[in-house]
Amino acid sequence: MSELHTHQLLTDASGTETIEPEETIISDETPHEIAEKSFADYNVRADIVESLADAGITHPFPIQAMTLPVALAGHDIIGQAKTGTGKTLGFGIPALQRVIGQDDPGYAKLAVPGAPQALVIVPTRELAVQVANDLQTASRKRNARITTIYGGRAYEPQVEALQQGVEVVVGTPGRLIDLYKQKHLSLKNVKLVVLDEADEMLDLGFLPDVETLIAGTPAVRQTLLFSATMPGPVIAMARRYMTQPTHIRAADPDDEGLTKRDIRQLIYRAHSMDKTEVVARILQARGRGRTIIFTKTKRTAAKVAEELVDRGFAAAAIHGDLGQGAREQALRAFRNNKVDVLVATDVAARGIDVDDVTHVINYQCVEDEKIYLHRVGRTGRAGNKGTAVTFVDWDDMPRWALINKALGLSVPEPVETYSSSPHLYSDLDIPEGTKGRLPRDKRTLAGVDAEVLEDLGETGKKNSRGGRDASRSRERDGRGRGKDDGGKAGGRDSARSGERRRRTSDSAPAADAAAPAADGDQPSRTRRPRTRTRRRNGEVVAAADKGGQPGSSEG
């Protein structure tokens, strides 16, 4: 049941001054569709309802059912909800409904027709793409233009989209700030601001940029803030920029402490040399679907993905060293079932919003309990079951003890596990006799290369899956231009430079003599040609300056 009651204070563990919301709405229901009510029952526009119905979305989740009446009434909202609860449409539908599209009455009367009317700020590029896709799904029959603004892509298409006119802008703080300071992005006509995953923006150091963007919007506006947690700085920002917000909290009765009861969590103490073998067997468990493997570093992500591909699995990596085109290629391949294993770093995986992830593997021990919750929360979403496996190295045992205590997992000593351990097979329902390579008859997916790699006109990164390191090394070595031109320019340049060196060497005396004339304000100074004198038995027999070239000698 959902409960509506007055809430006095939002408190913070650090004692930070908190805001007093007008009211608090708490849900203790699982994120499932509410069959008795449709979106139309919440006064959502008919064209938005039809667009959602075409995508198979007919009934709202609890977080949406609580958010829509408040947001559509124009009130500010602080929403506390974990990923996978359906909050994107909770703020996306109000944004689409509030803006005035080209076909809507009153569009011509806008102060600046085509200027952004809604601004959605998210922490990562992948999340920006995911949110924009969800909004476009909801606006298929609604004439509201949506554009994404984020780094890694060329500036020109984004600037052109803004110049042509747009109603909703979804973007990351860095690129939004760039275009705002360059006067390409106008915020003077924004009616609604959405801050999604505000706690993550705090962790990534984006809050100052976010506050700059909010300060550029009109003082009278609607603000919707969503965050899994409410740390002090986020609360302080809410105090400054929100007016009597309604606090909506989506609580899950299946939560067991801080983790979900429908996620089976297995903690193994594994040897680094055997991890890939263990992973290869987990990926052959019965009922295993889409799987995300988390790593600490970009290098580990690339290495694990490469090893899994060599073993026959349809795997792709996504990490910061990949160009934006390659990252989006991997995500599309994952969503389109061309690969079913995604190896990712934490930040890169922030925008992965796929409900049917069955397994999550922490390839290395996480840094703290917050990261653990984020990673594990990628599975068991929208009421589905999930399995989370975490590998803990011997050196990470003290850190794991702290995480275990903070989350109350009751696994202080993870069991030592190898690829041949019987309990590995029984815990994860792995068929007996499974080896570390996927049999050829089960290699049915097309792979990441079957997905189109878009040319995004990227800034600062290669468009290929080679990442940016190779590009940067070429730039540092000064060899990039010749190679990019197919070797022809480099060949011409080197040949020309050789000719210049020869001509310079041959005409050095003449050039030296002419130099004072060219530089009139330089003192006149002529270099004397070198001479060499040969002696025989102490007597001079020849002089090099008599005929011939300087430096030559007879005999």
Helix axes 125-138, 324-335, angle to 10 degrees: 50
Per-residue pLDDT tens digits of the chain, which is 555 residues long: 343 333 333 334 444 444 555 555 555 555 555 556 899 999 999 999 999 999 999 999 888 999 999 999 999 999 987 666 788 999 999 999 999 999 999 999 999 999 999 999 999 888 899 899 999 999 999 989 999 999 988 999 999 999 999 999 999 999 999 999 999 999 999 999 999 989 889 888 899 999 999 999 999 999 999 988 888 899 999 989 999 999 998 765 444 444 567 799 999 999 999 999 999 999 999 999 999 999 999 999 999 999 999 999 999 999 988 888 898 899 899 989 999 999 998 766 666 777 789 999 999 999 988 889 888 888 887 678 899 999 999 999 999 999 999 998 999 999 999 999 999 999 999 999 999 999 999 999 999 999 988 877 665 544 445 443 333 333 334 444 343 444 434 444 444 444 444 444 444 444 444 444 444 444 445 566 666 666 666 666 655 444 444 444 444
461 lies in some domain? no
CA dihedral (430, 431, 437, 443) in degrees, to 10, reads -100
**Residue 298, by phi and psi: left (phi above 0), alpha (psi -120 to 50) or beta?**
alpha
12 lies in some domain? yes
* pLDDT score, position 117: 98
The pair of structure tokens assigned to 428 is 């994860």
Q: What are phi and psi of 540, to 5 degrees?
A: -70, 125
Asked if 322 contacts 454 with a C-beta cutoff of 8 angstroms, the reply is: no
87 and 188 fall within a common domain: yes
173 and 285 fall within a common domain: no
* pLDDT score, position 453: 87
* pLDDT score, position 68: 95
* pLDDT score, position 227: 87
- Residue 133's contacts (CB-CB under 8 Å, 6 or more residues apart) are none
Q: What is the CATH number of the domain that holds 279?
A: 3.40.50.300
* pLDDT score, position 229: 80
95 and 17 fall within a common domain: yes
Render the burial of 250-281: b for 16+ CB within 10 Å, e for the rest.
bebebeeeebbebbbbbbbbbeeebbbbbbbb
Asked if 72 contacts 97 with a C-beta cutoff of 8 angstroms, the reply is: yes
DSSP class of residue 152 equals T
215 and 316 fall within a common domain: no
CA 520 – CA 528 distance, rounded (Å): 20
DSSP string, 371-425: HHHHHHTTSS-TT--EEEEEEE-GGGHHHHHHHHHHHT-S-SSPEEE-TT-HHHH
CA dihedral (287, 275, 354, 173) in degrees, to 10, reads 180
* pLDDT score, position 134: 93
200 and 81 fall within a common domain: yes
DSSP class of residue 246 equals E
CA 244 – CA 70 distance, rounded (Å): 12
**Number of domains within the chain:** 2
Tell me the residue type at 404.
Answer: N
430 and 381 fall within a common domain: yes
The burial class, CB within 10 Å (0-12 / 13-18 / 19+), for 482 is middle
The alpha-helical segments, DSSP class H, found in 55-121 are 62-72, 87-98
* pLDDT score, position 315: 97
CA 298 – CA 111 distance, rounded (Å): 47
CA proximity to 363, closest of 435, 264, 261, 292: 292
The pair of structure tokens assigned to 141 is 């029959």
The H or E element that residue 170 is part of is strand 168-171
20 lies in some domain? yes
CA 469 – CA 174 distance, rounded (Å): 22
> SS3 of 545, please?
coil
CA 408 – CA 355 distance, rounded (Å): 26
- DSSP bridge partners of 359: 291, 387
The H or E element that residue 223 is part of is strand 222-227
Render the burial of 345-382: b for 16+ CB within 10 Å, e for the rest.
bbbbbbbbbbeebbbbbbbbbbeebbbbbbbbbbbbbe
326 and 298 fall within a common domain: yes
Q: Which of 217, 250, 283 is the last residue of a domain?
A: 250
Asked if 57 contacts 204 with a C-beta cutoff of 8 angstroms, the reply is: no
171 lies in some domain? yes
- Kind of pairing, strands 23-27 and 2-5? antiparallel
> SS3 of 486, please?
coil
CA 265 – CA 516 distance, rounded (Å): 82
518 lies in some domain? no
Q: Which of 454, 476, 503 is the last residue of a domain?
A: 454
CA proximity to 226, closest of 199, 207, 204, 253: 199
57 and 158 fall within a common domain: yes
- Residue 543's contacts (CB-CB under 8 Å, 6 or more residues apart) are 531, 533
Q: Which of 393, 423, 454 is the last residue of a domain?
A: 454
467 lies in some domain? no
211 and 279 fall within a common domain: no
CA 128 – CA 163 distance, rounded (Å): 20
Return the sign of the alpha-carbon dihedral for residues 196, 202, 203, 205: positive
186 and 296 fall within a common domain: no
CA 488 – CA 503 distance, rounded (Å): 23
238 and 262 fall within a common domain: no
Domain residues for the domain of 449 are 255-454
* pLDDT score, position 385: 87
70 lies in some domain? yes
291 and 221 fall within a common domain: no
131 lies in some domain? yes
